[in-house]
Structure 1
């Protein structure tokens, strides 16, 4: 069955969204054409050539300018007044309950008008959004205006931190299906919808591609080194990681710690490094390309990510795929992949003492033991996070959605799951 799917992300392509790019490319390899749409561009931040190639394939809603947005807003209001005013009331209702307010949601409605015209021109059968925040709000309003059925992927933790403020229950109710990236995420979505909505919620993992899965095993380097990959922000726990490193250096251990990424708390991290004279031991690289990330991982003994809040970090998948064990925390979906004693270690979040103890164990471990953990981690990633397999699950859901709406054009997404045949169709999908 031939269908065209559109993807909508608030910012795409983006340095930290390589998993979305991999998913799109895997879907296209599976025979589903994917159109890329983004609300806004962050082109100046891109460092990876693959992201720059995606930039040329992506259409930006705000790229039409204020006049273009207003023009679409007026055209849709005139051409479909009933649906427009229904959507206007929906935007008003969502806006009243939100953090951003009514004005922002009227802007989302205007953005949905632009997107609606583009999707109609391209004969798109299904719209999929990543993240349950404003991009899914635009998708929901586009559907209310008469656009195609939509679905969305929830990553966490942001969506679970402000469920009512982003209208998550309403978005689940009106969606054709919803994707969680872990069983933990699925459980949180179950909390915020009625039982009759549960069959539409599916787990589709973020994936790594063959570049990682097929990479030959690289022995551990001779010099001890930890690497931490991710945005420099409070949630990732890098400040505690620097404190843990400082304590281990005081104990006499000698190693390097490389922080790959950038973000809002970089000045605070740099100040802490300087205060303890840790410059010879700790390096901050800033954002890195995929090739550079792989190099940093292969130069390390262990990947460390002491996060307080997560979904299931792609950086952990990439580290394990390359045969590097992982130290992380017992939160969200991380324990579903990182098994203590199998492919790494888990510590309680926010505990510097436990982090110090675990990093000490890694420094005292033999290269043979670290390589054993790394090989088992690579096997787990190949089994659970192969992007081709995970995208295949999405392809089944997209095709089922398109077929269902072709066969039952009068049934709306918010009520379709009352029909047993629809529920059964979903139960057959992975």
Structure 2
């Protein structure tokens, strides 16, 4: 019997990954809509996985670099023999992108070999379309797969890295060569509008990251303990160093407070040193990486979640906290104001302002529980409306079905037009 189910490849640089639970939810949502999804990753980070759900995803994921260097060379050699013209075109593309990139040409030649391996797998697995997450090397490899004669590709842009490196990552040309591009907020869409020719705007779609229905439960009692939580990778962009500085005046004033940092990362030693220097060991706890259920417990045990980021897309941690009826404290950057309404479901402060961050945290730990509960209820309603993963995944599923339903010739003509029109317009 003929199998008419659409088959999509999800391609991510590292998958599964502790900080990529939103991709796992999205994949499950796409599968629930009747699409078969194959999981593919460039490299593995299995050593840091702590969630049982991630372990299940790991067993379903094929990882290119775990196949070994011989497999890369074998697939590349076979491609040269069987489709030399396409390999030559893909080689030219890899060299062009490599010269623009801070990764260099050699790394892009490796991406070409990775694309050859993936195309072999895609053909064997019956993959009809590739969807990559992040506009970095995973999308580069997906684009090279298409250039080699493999399936069409699309990708999701999150930010801020893609917008910080718009030219060195060749984002504009990746958009031109793609079937469509998903972005996680109106802000991120506007950044693509800023750089891409207007002829490309129709293919840029807002598809939010989301949380699954298990988060949308009845409100739990607001804790009386003055505890706040920060969930995220310990890195410069998330602002945890600023957060530790912000609670110093609260502690100095003799106000009880406990800050829990859920996560790990390169900044952990510096944060620990700052905690020791300020004698804040009784007020700040770093848990390291935690499972999804443990993260949930930390959020529910807190009066608010705080994320004082300097650079973001639209953090999933904010969605999770609001869905669990906890208000949030964050910054006026990127897509965050599209979700968080100040004094309605949380507080927004100027990025980098210690004084205003301190004031917001102090308010969150001192407000009556019933006021915080009302803010949490408002936030949960906003997340249910904007970030239900089942609804957002269905948007992607519809795009995948529309793309794969087109005849191959029509898809090829569309991609050629998308490449040629901007070049003609720029020459006029």
TM-score range, shorter chain: over 0.9
**Distance (Å, rounded) in 1 between the aligned partners of 2:30 and 2:147:** 26
Partner of 1:194: 197
TM-score normalised to structure 2 length: 0.96
Task: Tell me if structure 2 keeps the 8 A contact 1:323–1:378.
Answer: yes
Q: How many corresponding residue pairs? A: 418
Matched, 1:12 2:18: no
Partner of 2:238: 236
Task: Tell me if structure 2 keeps the 8 A contact 1:176–1:414.
Answer: no
For structure 2, list consecutive stretches of 5 or more residues without a partner in the other structure: 422-428
TM-score normalised to structure 1 length: 0.95
Question: Secondary structure of 1:223's partner?
Answer: coil
Q: Where in structure 1 do 4 or more consecutive aligned residues deviate above 3 Å?
A: 416-419
Matched, 1:179 2:182: yes
Matched, 1:313 2:346: no
Partner of 1:329: 331
Report matched runs for 1:57-76 at 5 Å: 57-76=60-79
Task: Tell me if structure 2 keeps the 8 A contact 1:175–1:414.
Answer: no
- CA shift for structure 1 position 121: 1.3
Partner of 2:50: 47
Partner of 1:162: 165
Report matched runs for 1:181-260 at 5 Å: 181-213=184-216, 215-260=217-262
Question: Secondary structure of 2:413's partner?
Answer: coil
Partner of 2:120: 117
Task: Tell me if structure 2 keeps the 8 A contact 1:328–1:345.
Answer: yes
**Distance (Å, rounded) in 2 between the aligned partners of 1:100 and 1:10:** 15
- CA shift for structure 1 position 2: 2.7
- CA shift for structure 1 position 193: 1.0
- CA shift for structure 1 position 416: 5.3
Partner of 1:423: none
Equivalent of residue 152 in structure 2, options 149, 154, 178:
149
Task: Tell me if structure 2 keeps the 8 A contact 1:8–1:38.
Answer: yes
Task: Tell me if structure 1 keeps the 8 A contact 2:200–2:418.
Answer: no
**Distance (Å, rounded) in 2 between the aligned partners of 1:221 and 1:25:** 33
Equivalent of residue 107 in structure 1, options 87, 110, 115:
110
CA deviation profile, 1:49-81 (whole Å, cap 9, x unmatched):
000000000000111100011000100111000
- CA shift for structure 1 position 364: 2.3
Task: Tell me if structure 1 keeps the 8 A contact 2:33–2:397.
Answer: yes
**Distance (Å, rounded) in 2 between the aligned partners of 1:280 and 1:118:** 52
Matched, 1:85 2:88: yes
Task: Tell me if structure 1 keeps the 8 A contact 2:177–2:418.
Answer: no
Task: Tell me if structure 1 keeps the 8 A contact 2:22–2:209.
Answer: yes
Equivalent of residue 339 in structure 1, options 338, 341, 352:
341
**Distance (Å, rounded) in 2 between the aligned partners of 1:119 and 1:382:** 35
Question: Secondary structure of 2:415's partner?
Answer: coil
Partner of 1:134: 137
CA deviation profile, 1:74-93 (whole Å, cap 9, x unmatched):
00111000000010011001
Question: RMSD between aligned alpha carbons?
Answer: 1.3
CA deviation profile, 1:208-241 (whole Å, cap 9, x unmatched):
001112x221011121100000000111010110
Task: Tell me if structure 2 keeps the 8 A contact 1:5–1:35.
Answer: yes
